[in-house]
Amino acid sequence: MTLPPRLTPLLAQFDFACERLLARLAGPVMDSGNGVDIRVPPLGDEEYRWEPVPGCWSVRRRGDGPGPRATVLTGAGDWGRDSADSPHPSPPPFTTVAWRLSHLSELLALRADHTCGGRSLTRDGYRTPGDAAGAVAAFETASAAWRDALLTADDVALDTVGYSTYPNGSDPEEPFVDIVWWVNQEVLHHGAEIALLRDLYRARPS
């Protein structure tokens, strides 16, 4: 299928954001933005769950229970992500690399499933890795699944309200092209946050 012209720049932006974030997480080098390679150590488990301020939301062992102001650990398996019933705490808790990366991977995996998969995957069934390597691999898998979903979209699909039936957003009420744009913004802004947290971890006092 020929890619719709409207989708071409959005797909290129998504690819750029994901490639940049994966390089920032896994190393060994990444482009600084001006063509200079910068060495980047792979994300480790301690940094993955590092809490730079008190009261962070993170990814935790289920047996340890949710963190401060959280009421539940979402997902399945031995690890879950801090969350709370609506309305969420105000001001919002500061979140770790683990929380942000899990959030990104979950939304990409679920949206892919609710676009061209079985449309059955839920937050309660999503497994959040407790280790950094597993989390990076999960993001890579989820971003590839969403990219595959984008490749199913023709011009009619881009204008179809509810082409994605992802239940945790406005997808059932929005044209698909608006959802594609929104997902790009999620990857871009959370990717920037994760990059900054990596810089702060590197510069933390010994």
pLDDT (0 to 100) of residue 67: 97
Amino acid at 100: R
pLDDT (0 to 100) of residue 36: 82
Query: Residue 173: pLDDT above 90?
Result: yes
> Which residues lie closer than 8 Å to 126 by C-beta, 6 or more apart?
74, 75, 76, 106, 109, 110
Distance CA 105, CA 41 (A): 21
Distance CA 106, CA 80 (A): 12
Distance CA 7, CA 13 (A): 10
> Which residues lie closer than 8 Å to 62 by C-beta, 6 or more apart?
73, 77, 78, 79, 80
This prediction has a pTM of 0.95
pLDDT mean over 144-168: 96
Residues 5-44 pLDDT 10s? 999 999 999 999 999 999 999 988 887 777 888 899 999 9
Query: Residue 1: pLDDT above 70?
Result: no
Tell me what the pLDDT averaged over the chain comes to: 95
Query: Residue 84: pLDDT above 90?
Result: yes
Decide if 95 contacts 89 (C-beta within 8 A).
no
pLDDT (0 to 100) of residue 148: 97
Residues 44-75 pLDDT 10s? 999 999 999 999 999 999 999 999 999 999 99
Give, to the nearest 10 degrees, the angle between helix 7-26 and helix 176-202.
20
